[in-house]
Amino acid sequence: MAYDDQNIFARILRGELPAIKVYEDDQVLAFMDIMPQAEGHTLVIPKNPAVTLLDLAPEAAAYTIQIVQKVAQAMETALGVKGIVLMQLSGTVAGQTVPHVHFHLIPTNVHELGKHAATMGDQEKIKAQAELIKAALAAA
Ligand code: 5GP
């Protein structure tokens, strides 16, 4: 699928829109979801301009999943979560709403998941959760 470089995550990557970031390197960015399905809901995105996981270069996918694991470990330490749902929606039919490939890390169990991309979260609370995750990443 053709990549739209005006999508929200592309604009976050370019610094045109704000995001509550927890991790960044030259290939990947992790930041808090603005409409969390559970407290601590974090997104991990490769910087490569791919729409879905199917479009992403295998090397970028492999590296991104390493960071997904690293951020998940920090979330476990920082937020005391017992389980994390890893969600990846590829394609609008699958429910993807932002056309830049991303991995959802949702600290909950599937039975307690809030509705997807539906309700704006308390941004101050989200910032506090991000600080805890960042501290755990720094200490790892
Ligand atoms: P998708 O539906 O594509 O799998 O997930 C997109 C996610 O991005 C949703 O969970 C939604 O809440 C989140 N989201 C949408 N717009 C923004 C935004 O401007 N900033 C952040 N941080 N998250 C967003």
Quick: pLDDT tens for 66-79: 999 999 999 999 99
Residues involved in catalysis = 102
Ligand 1 atom closest to the CA of 8, numbered from 1: 19
Pick the closest to residue 75 from 139, 138, 137, 125 (CA basis).
137
Per residue in 20-32, pLDDT tens?
Answer: 999 999 999 999 9
For the chain, domain boundaries: 8-139
Give mean pLDDT, residues 133-140. 94
Ligand 1 centre and the CA of 105: distance in Å?
A: 12
Q: Around 1, how many Cα atoms within 13 Å sit in the side-chain half-sphere?
A: 17
Superfamily of 8-139 according to CATH: HIT-like (3.30.428.10)
**Burial tier of 106 (Cβ tally within 10 Å: 0-12, 13-18, 19+):** buried
pLDDT-above-90 percentage for the chain: 89
List, chain by chain if needed, residues with CB within 6 Å of any ligand 1 atom.
Answer: 8, 19, 31-35, 89, 95-98, 117
Torsion of CA 82, 98, 88, 119, to 10 degrees: 30
For residue 118, what is the DSSP state? -
> Are the CB atoms for 78 and 30 separated by under 8 Å?
no
List the residue whose alpha carbon is closest to atom 10 of ligand 1. Answer: 117
| Report field, pTM of the whole predicted structure over 0.75 | yes
Amino acid (one-letter) located at 4 = D
User: What is the pLDDT of the chain when averaged over all its residues?
Assistant: 95
pLDDT exceeds 90 at position 17: yes
